[in-house]
């Protein structure tokens, strides 16, 4: 792209364009061109109405025993949330919090210091309202705790889902939406495909296997889902079709093939739709926690956490990754604690749709019991390098399903520090953020 910008020889501009009123929908004719000003909230709402049964979601939201809080963290979701959740679906006024978009997402004065990130660490207001602390442990609250909570990030493509004193990890949220896709009108004809990014937990794979749905493991980055959504279309007419399709990432992005981006509002409505239908079926209010408990009893639980080490020395982080990559395959059969390594490699993706190969997509240590330790360098960090360490431990349905995820993966973190020598490379022995 940079190369092409160097080749620009001319650009055109128009003098004397009138100032158009962008505050209301209208169509303007300017010489031989037409400019249409449209309300993007209405546009999105129209599309979402094709995906969901709004009447049934409204019945849930207006139940006297159901309360909802949707925190837009001063990002762009605010006007959409108020229009859809409060006006269209009948949630009580004030259910949508921090709903006035601000250019600095609230800045240093906000509880989240302008860091509009929907996770346990940054979405502090919502997390406290839902009766949790940043470790996801229950805390007491002086006010009644809402039945359902959600947060959006600054550009509203990501989401966090909670119920009263309960946090659902994005990996679990994805698996549970796919498991219950038949309750969502968008998937009435059945799902043909689903996908997760490589570091996202394998909870999705268990559902896909049980239901016979094609499941893909792609590198981190939403673009990799795009080709799967295009399979069988005019772009790849000879390829098998994987749509209708649901996909998601551990980094709080969830979506489907109604648009090509992750869609925070879609994920919130998908959950509300599932709860609405299950509540109708059960004749009593069903919560996110109820759905999760049922799910784990069927599939087992993929305990999961991500440790971020932010702002580390880039060269050192790269050396550490290289050291681990160089050992690819050499640690198979080695035992750490009571766990034996089954696969140690560097993840590579062969795109089944366009045939492209993406190498060097993260270092993986996969153990015989299904536990995983994954290392990646963030592609979005701003200062130095961010090392992301993803930890996953599988517990079958017969095991203890009610433990705290951060406690369960802690022994894996100790093994990860050993495997990576992270402390000697980066000087860090504690992550900056755990989600
Ligand atoms: O490389 P990082 O920092 O882990 O960020 C990954 C994220 O990067 C974003 O740009 C993509 O839109 C996401 O899909 C992806 O999850």
Question: pLDDT tens digit string along 16-48?
Answer: 888 999 999 999 998 888 999 999 999 999 999
220 lines ligand 1 (CB under 6 A): yes
Question: pLDDT tens digit string along 352-376?
Answer: 999 999 999 999 999 998 999 999 9
Give nearest CA residue, ligand 1 atom 4.
378
Can you list the alpha helix ranges (DSSP code H) found in 144-263? 170-179, 203-211, 223-230
Mean per-residue pLDDT of the chain: 96
308 lines ligand 1 (CB under 6 A): no
What does DSSP say about strands 68-71 and 96-97: parallel, antiparallel, or unpaired? parallel
Compute the radius of gyration of the chain from its Cα atoms: 23
Q: How many CB atoms are closer than 10 A to CB 6? A: 6
- The C-alpha atoms of residue 40 and residue 379 are separated, in whole angstroms, by 30
The domain limits of the chain are 42-169, 302-434
Q: What percent of the chain has pLDDT over 90?
A: 93
The DSSP call for residue 88 is: I
Can you list the alpha helix ranges (DSSP code H) found in 301-389? 314-326
Give nearest CA residue, ligand 1 atom 15.
221
C-alpha 221 – ligand 1 centre gap (Å): 5
Which atom of ligand 1 is closest in space to residue 388's alpha carbon?
4
- The residues near 64 (Cβ < 8 Å, ≥ 6 apart) are none
Q: Give how far the C-alpha of residue 142 lies from the chain's centroid of Cα atoms, to the nearest Å.
A: 30
Question: pLDDT tens digit string along 149-201?
Answer: 999 999 999 999 999 999 999 999 999 999 999 999 999 999 999 999 999 99
- The C-alpha atoms of residue 212 and residue 414 are separated, in whole angstroms, by 36
pLDDT at 14: 83
- The C-alpha atoms of residue 299 and residue 180 are separated, in whole angstroms, by 13
pLDDT at 17: 85
pLDDT at 383: 82
- The C-alpha atoms of residue 343 and residue 367 are separated, in whole angstroms, by 7
Q: Strands of 188-338 (E only): list them.
A: 193-197, 214-218, 245-249, 253-256, 301-312, 335-336
| CA pseudo-torsion sign 10, 15, 21, 25 | negative
C-alpha 268 – ligand 1 centre gap (Å): 20
Helix/strand/coil for 185: helix
Helix/strand/coil for 117: coil
Structural fold of domain 42-169: Alpha-D-Glucose-1,6-Bisphosphate; Chain A, domain 3 (3.40.120)
C-alpha 63 – ligand 1 centre gap (Å): 37
pLDDT at 378: 94
Which of 118, 157, 220 is the best mutation target for the ligand 1 pocket, counting ligand atoms within 8 Å of the beta carbon and taking the most?
220
Is-same-fold flag (42-169; 302-434)?
A: no
Q: Which of 30-34, 271-275, 347-351 has the lowest mean pLDDT?
A: 30-34
Q: What is the mean pLDDT of residues 77-99?
A: 98
C-alpha 154 – ligand 1 centre gap (Å): 14
166 lines ligand 1 (CB under 6 A): no
Beta bridge partners of 70: 96, 150
The predicted model scores a pTM of 0.94
pLDDT at 337: 83
Q: What is the mean pLDDT of residues 331-335?
A: 96
Which atom of ligand 1 is closest in space to residue 262's alpha carbon?
14
Which of 251, 263, 377 is the best mutation target for the ligand 1 pocket, counting ligand atoms within 8 Å of the beta carbon and taking the most?
251
420 lines ligand 1 (CB under 6 A): no
379 lines ligand 1 (CB under 6 A): yes
Architecture of the domain made up of 302-434 = 2-Layer Sandwich (3.30)
pLDDT at 276: 98
Q: Give how far the C-alpha of residue 25 lies from the chain's centroid of Cα atoms, to the nearest Å.
A: 32
pLDDT at 332: 97
pLDDT value at 382 more than 80: no
pLDDT at 246: 98
pLDDT value at 381 more than 90: no
Cβ burial of 66 (10 Å; 0-12, 13-18, 19+) is buried
pLDDT at 118: 96
């Amino acid at each position: 792209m940079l190369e092409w910008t160097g080749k620009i020889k001319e650009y055109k501009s128009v003098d004397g364009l009138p100032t158009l009123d962008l505050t209301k929908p209208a169509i303007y004719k300017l010489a031989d061109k037409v400019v249409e000003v449209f309300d993007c909230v209405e546009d999105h709402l129209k599309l979402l109405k094709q995906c969901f049964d709004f009447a049934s979601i409204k019945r849930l939201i207006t139940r006297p025993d159901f309360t909802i809080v949707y925190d837009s963290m001063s990002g762009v979701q605010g006007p959409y949330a108020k229009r859809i959740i409060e006006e269209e679906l009948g949630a009580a006024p004030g259910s949508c919090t921090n709903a006035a978009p601000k250019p600095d997402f609230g800045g240093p004065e906000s509880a989240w210091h302008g860091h509009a990130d929907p996770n346990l660490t940054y979405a502090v207001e919502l997390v406290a309202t839902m009766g949790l602390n940043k470790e996801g442990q229950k805390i007491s609250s002086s006010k009644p705790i809402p039945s359902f909570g959600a947060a959006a990030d600054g550009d509203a493509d990501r989401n966090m889902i909670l119920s009263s004193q309960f946090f659902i990890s994005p990996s679990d949220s994805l698996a549970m939406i796919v498991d219950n896709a038949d309750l969502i009108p968008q998937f009435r004809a059945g799902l043909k495909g689903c996908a997760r990014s490589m570091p996202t937990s394998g909870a999705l794979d268990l559902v896909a296997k049980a239901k016979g749905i094609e499941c893909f493991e792609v590198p981190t980055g939403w673009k990799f889902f795009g080709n799967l959504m295009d399979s069988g279309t005019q772009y790849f007419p000879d390829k098998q079709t994987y749509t209708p399709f649901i996909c998601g990432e551990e980094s709080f992005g969830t979506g489907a093939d109604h648009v090509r981006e992750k869609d925070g509002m879609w994920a919130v409505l998908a959950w509300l739709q599932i709860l609405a239908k299950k509540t109708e079926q059960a004749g009593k209010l069903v919560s996110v926690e109820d759905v999760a408990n049922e799910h784990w009893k069927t599939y087992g639980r993929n305990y999961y956490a991500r440790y971020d080490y932010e702002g580390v020395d880039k060269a050192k982080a790269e050396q550490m990754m290289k050291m681990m990559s160089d050992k690819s395959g050499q640690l198979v059969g080695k035992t750490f604690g009571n766990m034996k390594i089954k696969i140690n490699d560097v993840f590579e993706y062969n795109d089944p749709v366009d045939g492209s190969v993406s190498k060097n997509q993260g270092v993986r240590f996969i153990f015989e019991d299904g536990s995983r330790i994954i290392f990646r360098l963030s592609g979005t960090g701003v200062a130095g390098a961010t090392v992301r360490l993803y930890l996953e431990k599988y517990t079958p349905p017969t095991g203890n399903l009610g433990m705290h995820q951060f406690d369960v993966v802690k022994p894996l973190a100790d093994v990860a520090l050993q495997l990576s020598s992270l402390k000697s490379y980066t000087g860090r022995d504690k992550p900056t953020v755990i989600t």
